[in-house]
Amino acid sequence: MGVDLDTRLRTVVGAGAKRLEDARGLRTVADLLNFLPRTYLDPARSTSFREIPHGEDVVVVGTVTEAVLHQMRARKGRMLVVTVSDEFGGRIKLTFFKPFGHQDRLVPGARVVCSGQVGTYKETLQLTHPDYAVLDDPTGKSSGGWLLGGLVPVYPATPRLSPIVHGDLLDLVLHALTDLPDPLPEDVRARKGLPDLLEAYTLVHRPRTEADHRRARWRLKYQEAFVIQAALARARLASDATPAVPRTPVPGGLVDALLDRLPFELTDGQRAVLQEIHDDLRRDVPMHRLLQGEVGSGKTVLALLAMLTVVDAGGQAALLAPTEVLASQHHRGITAMLGPIAEGGMLGGMDNGTRVALLTGSQSAAERRKALLAAASGEAGIVIGTHALIQDTVQLAELGLVVVDEQHRFGVEQRDALRAKAALAPHVLVMTATPIPRTVAMTVYGDMTTSTLRELPRGRQPITTHVVTGEKERWVGRAWVRVAEEVRGGGQVYVVCPRIGAEDDPDLPAGSTVGPGLPMSPRGQGAPATDTDADADADAPAIEDGTADGGDDEDVAGPGPQLHGVHQVARALRALPATRDLRLEELHGRMTGEEKDRVMRAFSAGEVDVLVSTTVIEVGVDVPDATTMVVLDADRFGISQLHQLRGRVGRGGRPGLCLLVTQGHEGDPGAVERLQQVAATTDGFELARLDLETRREGDVLGATQSGGRSGLRFLRLARDEDLIVEAHEAAWATVEADPDLATLPALRRELDRLDAERAAFLERG
Ligand code: ADP
Ligand code: MG
């Protein structure tokens, strides 16, 4: 039986497979082949040893110039010290405390490749008990033969696995392979002049020249992009094959009634997008449209118009929000905007008006029953809730449109589940305020068509952002004075903290300026938490978007100094002379839905001046009088997240102010610079691009498509735009020509593998 990608390494390399698995988790031929070199060394042009940084894992190539056995003073036995020189006069010493077996191989004149961690001893570089291979070994040992004649591949350092053993095992595998089924269609390969799969793996692991491995890498990336695009194309074709009910706009209906009622004109951008949505809704294939636009760009109005279009045409629409706070807020906002339009059948309501039903977990059973009934009977044209609720409990008589607010908490699988609720596929409109760079849109939302709102409605107030660093204690003090001034001027203030903390967190320093000099709580120093409630705060990993897991909020924590907690900061502000007279409330994910709702309502009504909260307020919250935001430990938040957060202010008639307070962060030297970048621009697309550059792809995919694909292997979304566009075009053409991939079994198998990976990823949670 031939060896292929799924073959277990054990059957190819025998006992050595255990080392690969233990050290690196490599189990199959594909695992080993896809573990790519980090870089390559050119033995013909090795850099001087003098430039080798200490403490690094290196591979060096040189010639043995001296080999001496020393009698050790402190203990019995002898030590072998071998001097290896490079052609630039640099020297490095190899030391072996057990010379046996080495002294007859490391003889002057031998060319060697050695690897290990570089140390220094008496000012000479040295490697202690390094791995090495002797090229043209006089004793005829075959190890390391692959090092001859080409570039030397250097893999990410792997403890417990000698690079030379790794290379020898890889050699066995490469020799065992005679050909590999290639997921890339031959015509695509020919057109682009790409090596086939086996050749690509050979070139990337055993290149003779730089050009070899570049070409091979490009091809592997291209394949990854191609396979993803093919999967998206097939998903799109499949869903286009499911019919949807066309919802043709009806003149003189609720849409026109709302347009008449709105106190403003739609912007040109909004008008254009509404047209695109109407064109989609007219068709008998389901709409899959992603609507992206800055916070405040007027997406919600458009969504409402889309929903009313469907209601006019006899259908129902569901609006799914990521959190209960947002669902309630949408309900309030939409009901107010609709006025009599949403009072169908009620006194003073519009004759042919509709109803808006809200479903939340914190409703009373009676309220919930009423809402469910209104939804099921079709009396409510619009149903609003969190996706969990709507997915699990609601029956919709005539679901025609699903609007998803903030896609990054809503993955493909949830979309599928909802789609399954209606006999015919509903149209889907997804709104996101996180601007999505083109490559991410194509890779993550490639099965959707994108609309973008670029202009903000007129009258939008600018937001000014300042970075306040903790060491400038007076500045932080001034920040709180500024907060008090804002409130006196009629504004409201958000104070955002990275964690909730415990009620009994230590006080901030007396007369504190909240910011610098935060005391370390015992937990911060790694002592075990004493109460269960604190567990959530302990060592939760830093999260980039606060949205990755679909929860209401999540504490952002990590190594470093203790971070500000909501309880602690609220207490400090109640004591601080500048702020103690302000009306202050807390908001965080550990409160019940009802409590959160009460606080949000009070804040919206202007009964609260300062809201101290976690990122629970991040998405979509709209309080026009909120003018100021103070983000504490701002360095712990991602670029896009900060941009989202500050979008909460300046939504009314007054300009917004955002203060990013940071104590600096030793483990993250780029932190302050990142904050400066956020302060320097309000262009969300620019920031999204920056974000992409500073984050790993796995995070991007994880955060934008919760529960989605497990990550990318070779592609870098920040850098590979051209390649992704090319692969997109080729893959969609391929799938359109042969939707069942009957002529492309290898591509089919690769897509199945992708599905399986995704399923496994979802099972793991
Ligand atoms: P988004 O959902 O994109 O964050 P919203 O739809 O909530 O934005 O709009 C933000 C605010 O701007 C709302 O108060 C909304 O009523 C208002 N608005 C929307 N479109 C316009 C427009 N064309 N002109 C003026 N104000 C608008
Ligand atoms: Mg919105």
> What is the reported pLDDT for 187?
94
Q: Which ligand is nearest to the CA of 304?
A: 1
* Higher pLDDT among residues 689 and 304, named by residue: 304
Residue 592 sits at φ, ψ, to 5 deg, of -70, 160
For residues 499 and 565, is the Cβ–Cβ distance under 8 A?
Answer: yes
> What is the reported pLDDT for 582?
95
What mean pLDDT comes out for the span 711-727? Answer: 85
> What is the reported pLDDT for 62?
85
pLDDT at residue 140 greater than cutoff 60: no
For residues 94 and 81, is the Cβ–Cβ distance under 8 A?
Answer: yes
Q: At CA 50, angle to CA 47 and CA 54, rounded to 5?
A: 105
The number of beta carbons lying within 10 Å of the beta carbon of residue 122 is: 6
- CB-based contacts of 449, cutoff 8 Å, min separation 6: 276, 280, 288, 289, 290
What mean pLDDT comes out for the span 386-405? Answer: 80
> What is the reported pLDDT for 279?
97
* Percent of the chain residues past pLDDT 90, beyond the cut: 37
pLDDT at residue 684 greater than cutoff 90: no
User: Which range scores top for mean pLDDT: 92-106, 384-398, 662-676, 751-765?
Assistant: 92-106
pLDDT at residue 705 greater than cutoff 60: no
Give the span between the Cα atoms of 126 and 84, in whole angstroms: 10
Angle between helices 745-764 and 210-241 (to 10 degrees): 80
Q: What pairing do the DSSP bridges indicate for beta strands 492-496 and 626-631?
A: parallel
Q: Return the residue whose CA atom lies nearest to atom 24 of ligand 1.
A: 457
142 falls in which pLDDT band (50, 70, 90)?
A: low
Answer whether 270 contacts ligand 1 (Cβ < 6 A).
yes
Which DSSP category does 156 fall into? P
Ligand 1 nearest-atom number relative to CA 270: 23
Give the span between the Cα atoms of 217 and 211, in whole angstroms: 10
> What is the reported pLDDT for 48?
62
43 falls in which pLDDT band (50, 70, 90)?
A: low
pLDDT at residue 409 greater than cutoff 70: no
Give the span between the Cα atoms of 98 and 557, in whole angstroms: 47
What mean pLDDT comes out for the span 5-25? Answer: 91
Residue 361 DSSP SS3:
coil
* Top mutation candidate among 301, 307, 649 for ligand 1, by most atoms within 8 Å of CB: 301
pLDDT at residue 293 greater than cutoff 80: yes
> What is the reported pLDDT for 36?
93
* Higher pLDDT among residues 603 and 562, named by residue: 603
Element (H, E) at 69: strand 57-71
Give the span between the Cα atoms of 494 and 566, in whole angstroms: 12
Pair of tokens at residue 106:
């490391």
What mean pLDDT comes out for the span 688-692? Answer: 78
The number of beta carbons lying within 10 Å of the beta carbon of residue 211 is: 10
Half-sphere exposure of 361 (CA within 13 A, CB side): 18
For residues 614 and 587, is the Cβ–Cβ distance under 8 A?
Answer: yes
Pair of tokens at residue 232:
């998206």
Answer whether 457 contacts ligand 1 (Cβ < 6 A).
yes
pLDDT at residue 535 greater than cutoff 50: no
For residues 23 and 35, is the Cβ–Cβ distance under 8 A?
Answer: no
| Locus of tokens 């999967």 | 231
Answer whether 470 contacts ligand 1 (Cβ < 6 A).
no
Among 37-41, 206-210, 286-290, 597-601, the least confident range:
37-41
- The CA 521 to ligand 2 mean position distance, Å, reads 38
Answer whether 144 contacts ligand 1 (Cβ < 6 A).
no
**Closest to 168 (Cα-Cα) out of 181, 155, 178:** 155
Give the span between the Cα atoms of 637 and 563, in whole angstroms: 12
- The CA 622 to ligand 2 mean position distance, Å, reads 8
3-state secondary structure 709-752: CCCCCCCCCCCCHHHHHHHHHHHHHHHHHCCCCCCCHHHHHHHH
**Closest to 220 (Cα-Cα) out of 34, 32, 37:** 34
pLDDT at residue 537 greater than cutoff 90: no
Half-sphere exposure of 337 (CA within 13 A, CB side): 22
For residues 37 and 154, is the Cβ–Cβ distance under 8 A?
Answer: yes
- CB-based contacts of 211, cutoff 8 Å, min separation 6: none
Angle between helices 210-241 and 721-737 (to 10 degrees): 50
287 alpha carbon, distance to own chain's centre: 26
Among 106-110, 501-505, 634-638, 746-750, the least confident range:
501-505
Pair of tokens at residue 684:
């969300």
Answer whether 333 contacts ligand 1 (Cβ < 6 A).
no
Ligand 1 nearest-atom number relative to CA 299: 3
Residue 522 sits at φ, ψ, to 5 deg, of -55, -35
Backbone Cα Rg of the chain: 31
Answer whether 622 contacts ligand 1 (Cβ < 6 A).
yes
Answer whether 295 contacts ligand 1 (Cβ < 6 A).
yes
* Top mutation candidate among 300, 332, 407, 649 for ligand 1, by most atoms within 8 Å of CB: 300
> What is the reported pLDDT for 295?
72
449 falls in which pLDDT band (50, 70, 90)?
A: confident
What mean pLDDT comes out for the span 284-297? Answer: 87
Ligand 1 nearest-atom number relative to CA 297: 3
Average pLDDT along the chain: 81
- The CA 362 to ligand 1 mean position distance, Å, reads 28
Q: pTM for the full model?
A: 0.67
Answer whether 300 contacts ligand 1 (Cβ < 6 A).
yes
pLDDT at residue 707 greater than cutoff 70: no
User: Which range scores top for mean pLDDT: 303-307, 351-355, 376-380, 630-634?
Assistant: 303-307
Residue 118 sits at φ, ψ, to 5 deg, of -80, 130
Q: 455-468: per-residue pLDDT in tens? A: 777 666 778 999 98
> What is the reported pLDDT for 539?
28
What mean pLDDT comes out for the span 265-285? Answer: 95
Pair of tokens at residue 755:
């599905």
* Percent of the chain residues past pLDDT 70, beyond the cut: 80
Q: In which region does residue 421 sit, left (phi positive, over 0), alpha (psi from -120 to 50) or beta (all else)?
A: alpha
Give the span between the Cα atoms of 215 and 193, in whole angstroms: 10
> What is the reported pLDDT for 764?
46
Answer whether 266 contacts ligand 1 (Cβ < 6 A).
yes
Give the span between the Cα atoms of 386 and 405, in whole angstroms: 10
pLDDT at residue 401 greater than cutoff 90: yes
Ligand 1 nearest-atom number relative to CA 624: 14
From residue 437, alpha-carbon distances to 42, 108, 256, 329, 692 in Å are 37, 57, 34, 28, 8
Answer whether 296 contacts ligand 1 (Cβ < 6 A).
yes
- The CA 303 to ligand 2 mean position distance, Å, reads 9
Q: 586-631: per-residue pLDDT in tens? A: 999 888 878 888 898 899 899 999 999 998 775 556 788 899 999 9
Among 149-163, 214-228, 323-337, the least confident range:
149-163
Angle between helices 639-646 and 671-680 (to 10 degrees): 40
Length of the chain: 765
Burial of 279 from C-beta contacts in 10 A (0-12 / 13-18 / 19+): exposed
417 falls in which pLDDT band (50, 70, 90)?
A: low
* Higher pLDDT among residues 274 and 671, named by residue: 274
Give the span between the Cα atoms of 344 and 353, in whole angstroms: 4
Give the span between the Cα atoms of 317 and 397, in whole angstroms: 10
What mean pLDDT comes out for the span 684-692? Answer: 79
- The CA 484 to ligand 1 mean position distance, Å, reads 28
Report every protein residue that has its C-beta within 5 angstroms of ion ligand 2: 300, 620
Pair of tokens at residue 321:
């929000």
Answer whether 293 contacts ligand 1 (Cβ < 6 A).
yes
Q: What pairing do the DSSP bridges indicate for beta strands 610-613 and 78-85?
A: unpaired
Pair of tokens at residue 498:
């990275």
Give the span between the Cα atoms of 426 and 419, in whole angstroms: 6
Domains of the chain: 37-154 (2.40.50.140), 185-241+727-765 (no CATH), 254-453 (3.40.50.300), 463-681 (3.40.50.300)
Give the span between the Cα atoms of 42 and 23, in whole angstroms: 26
Q: 542-553: per-residue pLDDT in tens? A: 222 233 233 344
pLDDT at residue 513 greater than cutoff 60: no
Q: 629-640: per-residue pLDDT in tens? A: 999 999 888 888
> What is the reported pLDDT for 644?
81
Q: Which ligand is nearest to the CA of 460?
A: 1
Q: Which ligand is nearest to the CA of 455?
A: 1
Pair of tokens at residue 29:
């031929």
What mean pLDDT comes out for the span 687-711? Answer: 55
* Higher pLDDT among residues 524 and 719, named by residue: 719
H-state helical runs in 531-565: none
> What is the reported pLDDT for 509?
59
